[in-house]
Structure 1
Amino acid sequence: RPGISEERWWSPVNTPVLGPDGQVAWIIHRGEDVTAFVKAHQATRPAGVRVGEKLEAAESLEAELYARARELQRLNEELRQAHTREREVAVTLQEAMLHTPDLAQHSQDVVVRYQPAVGSLNVCGDWYDVVDIPPDQLALAVGDVIGHGLQAAAVMGMLRSALSAAVRALARPAQALEVLGLYARSIDDALGTTAVKAIVDRRSHLITYSSAGHLPPILVHTDGRTELLDQATDPPLGARPQHVPRPQASLHYKPGDTLVLYTDGLIERRDEDIDTGLNRLIDTLSECSRLGPEQVADTVLARLGVAGGGRDDVALVVVRL
C-alpha cells in the first residue's frame, strides 16, 4: 500500500504488508511487530530477485513464523498448566500443614486469617495454631519462618508440628519454645524463626505467654484499652544461649476481652518504622473492641491495607475470651 513504509499497519491476520516497491514493510503476528526479524532475513537474500520470487519467499517466511508462533503458544500453555499444577500442590500441602482440628470447636470465639504474599504460590512460612488442653485451657501460637515459597513452607510445617506437640506435653509456654529452639538448630533455614506461644486458662482467667523474638500479642479490653504482651520476649529460635531459660509472663483478663496474635506482615512496611504500623494496629483494635471476632479480623486487614494481600505473608488470630 502507498506510504505503508512510513506507518505501521496492524493486520488482524498473519499477513505480510508490502510497500510500493514490492518490499516487505511490516509483518504483524497476533499484535506483535516482527518487522525487524523479517528485514533481517531479507538482508541475506541476493540482489536481483524478482518481485514474484520475493512475494513467494515472504509467504514462505510467514508460514515459518506462524508455525513458530503456534509452537511458542503451545509451550506457553504447557508452562501455564505446569504452574497451575504446582500451585495446586503447594496450596494442598500448606492446607494440610495448617490443619487445626481444635479450631472447629471454637468457631464462635476464635477467628484466623492467613494470607501469603502477593505474587507467591499461595504458600508461605507464617503459621498459626489453636490447641485445646483439657480441661479448660486453650493454647495459641503464631510464628514466622524467614523467606517465602515452598522451602519456607516446609520449614514452617516442621516447626509448627513440633511446637504443637511440645505444648501438649509441657505445661509452660516457655518450656515448649525451649524445645522448639533445640529442634530448630537441626533444621536448615529454621534459625531466626520467630514465634509466640500463649496459654489461656479459662478457670483463672489468666494468660501465660512466652515469645521467641516475635511481635507482642495484644489484649484488648471491652472499654477499648489495650495491653501489649511484651514482658517475656527473648531472641528468635537458635539465636540465644541454650543454658539460659526462656522468660515467661502472665496477666489476667476479663470475659469479653479480645486477644490478638499476628505476624509482621500485618504491620511492617518498607517506608516506615515498625512502631508506626504497631500503633496503627493498636488504634484499630481499640476502636473495634466491641465487635465480634470476624468483624475485628476483617476490619484490621482492611484498615492496615492488606485485605487483598500484601508484600509479606500475614497470619492473624483473633480470640474472644
Structure 2
Amino acid sequence: MTEPEIDYRAAFRAAPTPLALLTTELRFVDVTDAYLEVAGRPREQVIGRLAYEAFPDQPDSERPSGVRRLRQSMERVLATRRRDVMAVQRYDVEPEEGAGRWEERYFSIVNAPVLGPDGEVRLLLNRLEEVTRLVRTKGGGAGGGRDGARGRDGKRGGGRGREDRRPTAGGARLESDLLARADELQHTNERLREAHSRERHVAMELQQAMLPTPDLLAPRDAAVRYQPASATMNVCGDWYDLIDVDALHSSVVVGDVVGHGLEAAGVMGQLRSALSALARAATPPAEALNILDLYSRSVPGAESTTAVKIHVDWSASRLVYSSAGHLPPLLARLDGTVELLDRATNPPLGLLPEGGGTIEDSVAFEPGDVLVVYTDGLVERRDEDIDRGLARLADSLASHRTAPAEELAEALLADLLPPEGTEDDTVLVVLRLDRDDTG
C-alpha cells in the first residue's frame, strides 16, 4: 500500500492553532487560517510583510511596546537557536488595517527556530494563544476595547458576541496587577538573558585565551577543534594541548573538567597549565597523571576531572599513553581498521591510587596512521548508549582516514555533531602519524 502524497502547505494552513512562519528578516511567509482569524486580517495583508509592519503598535500609546518585545524575542531565537517563551503580553490590535480602531487584547506567545540541515535558523515559528477572555475573567469582567471600540463582529467590547461591560474597581485593579506582574517578569527575563550573555562572552574569551594553537617544531599534519555547547553557559570544561617536546617527541593531551561556566574555566586553566609543564619536561604519561592527580586534590572543583596523555615517539614509531577516566583515543590504520586505545584506563583525577600505581600502555604505529583524541561532547548523547557514539566515530574515522587532518576534523564534526548542537563542549585533536613530517 503506497503512502498518499501530503500537501504540507495545506496541512499547515489547516492546523487549528494560530501559527505563523517568518523569515530570518522577520517577514511573514505563511500563516494558518487560525492565525488569520485571531489577527482579524485577510491573508494578503499579512504574507510578505514584516511582523512590525503588519501589526504595528498603536500610535502615541503610553503602553510598553508589545511589538518591540516580540521583535526582541524573535531576535533572541535567531541568536541562540533556542525557543523563547514570552510572558503574557497586552497588545492594542487594529483588527481592520487603517481603520483607526484599536482593541485591547492579551496573548501568550512562543517563538521557535526552524533549523536547516546545517543547523542554522532558516525560519521562525510564531505561535499565538489569545488569553484576553481569561484575563478579563480574572479581572472581574473588564470591558471591551479601548474607548469602547467595536470588535471584529461590529459589537462593542472587541470580542465576538461579548457584552459591553465596564470594569469594576476590583476587577480593574486585578487586571492592572496582572499586567504589572507580567511586565515585571518580562523585564526580569530580559535582564537575566543579558547577564547570561555577558557571562557566556567572558567565559568564551577565557576559554579561547587558555586553549593555545599547537606548539609544533616540525610541520606536522595536525588539527585541533573546540566546539562550545549549545546551552547558554555550557562552556569552558574541556581542554587540549598539542606540543613538540623536541624534534623526535610530541605530546597530546585532552581533558574534561566536571561542570561548566567560569568556575570550570578556572579549574581547566590550572590543570591544563600543570599538565602542559609536565609534558614539556618529557614526564612519562602515567607519572604525569600521578603528579597531576596530587595537584588536583588542592584545586577546588578539580575532582573527577578526566584526562588522557599520549607521548609520541617518532623515532621508534610508538605511542605511549595513559588515561585518567577519559574516553579512549582512536588509532586509524592504513588498512581501514580503527583501534581503541583502552588498555591503560585509570580512575579520574582525585581517585587515582595514592603513591603511584597508574598504568600506561604503548602501541606501534605506521606512517599514515591517524590518532584522534576527543571529549565526550563528540560521542555522548542522552538517549543512547556511549558504545553507539564510539562506533559512529570509528565508522566516520575509517571513512575519512585518508583526508588531511584539517579536512578530517571537519568531516568528523559534521558526521558526529547534531545540527542543533550538544549539551556539552567538544574538543577534537587529529594528528596524522607520518614520520616524514619530522624531516
Whether the TM-score (by the shorter chain) exceeds 0.5 is yes
The Cα of 1:270 is off from its aligned counterpart by 3.0
**Aligned-partner Cα distance in 1 for 2:362–2:384:** 31
In 1, are the aligned partners of 2:245 and 2:282 still within 8 Å (CA)? no
Summarize the Cα distance change of 1:67–1:312 in structure 2 as closer, same or farther, 3 Å threshold: closer
Q: Given the alignment, which residue of 366, 373, 379 partners 1:254?
A: 366
**Aligned-partner Cα distance in 1 for 2:164–2:339:** 85
Summarize the Cα distance change of 1:76–1:34 in structure 2 as closer, same or farther, 3 Å threshold: farther
Summarize the Cα distance change of 1:266–1:70 in structure 2 as closer, same or farther, 3 Å threshold: closer
TM-score (norm: length of structure 2) = 0.59
Match of 2:215 in 1: 102
Once the two structures are superposed, residues 119-155 of structure 1 have per-residue CA deviations (whole angstroms, 9 ceiling, x without a partner) of 1325131211112212332211111122233332222
Confirm or deny that 1:268 pairs with 2:380: yes
Once the two structures are aligned, what percentage of the paired residues are identical?
Answer: 49
Q: Given the alignment, which residue of 285, 305, 309 partners 1:197?
A: 309
Structure 1 unaligned regions, length at least 5: 1-7, 18-25, 46-50
Summarize the Cα distance change of 1:37–1:161 in structure 2 as closer, same or farther, 3 Å threshold: same
Once the two structures are superposed, residues 155-197 of structure 1 have per-residue CA deviations (whole angstroms, 9 ceiling, x without a partner) of 2222111111122224311111111100111122222111100
Q: Given the alignment, which residue of 356, 361, 376 partners 1:244?
A: 356
The Cα of 1:290 is off from its aligned counterpart by 0.9
Q: Given the alignment, which residue of 278, 283, 289 partners 2:395?
A: 283
- Secondary structure of the corresponding residue to residue 255 of structure 2: strand
> What's the Cα RMSD here?
3.6
Confirm or deny that 1:140 pairs with 2:238: no
- Secondary structure of the corresponding residue to residue 237 of structure 2: strand
In 2, are the aligned partners of 1:185 and 1:191 still within 8 Å (CA)? yes
The Cα of 1:255 is off from its aligned counterpart by 2.2
In 2, are the aligned partners of 1:181 and 1:237 still within 8 Å (CA)? yes
In 1, are the aligned partners of 2:142 and 2:165 still within 8 Å (CA)? no
The total of aligned residue pairs comes to 300
Q: Which of 246-255 and 307-316 deviates more?
A: 307-316
Alignment of 1:168-207 (within 5 A): 168-207=280-319
Q: Which one scores higher on RCO, CA 8 angstroms, separation ≥ 6?
A: 1
Match of 1:81 in 2: 194
Q: Given the alignment, which residue of 124, 130, 142 partners 2:236?
A: 124
**Aligned-partner Cα distance in 1 for 2:186–2:383:** 40
Once the two structures are superposed, residues 238-267 of structure 1 have per-residue CA deviations (whole angstroms, 9 ceiling, x without a partner) of 113212331122222222221100112222
**Aligned-partner Cα distance in 1 for 2:173–2:302:** 58
Confirm or deny that 1:28 pairs with 2:112: no
Summarize the Cα distance change of 1:201–1:148 in structure 2 as closer, same or farther, 3 Å threshold: same
Summarize the Cα distance change of 1:87–1:190 in structure 2 as closer, same or farther, 3 Å threshold: same
Matched AA of 2:416: L
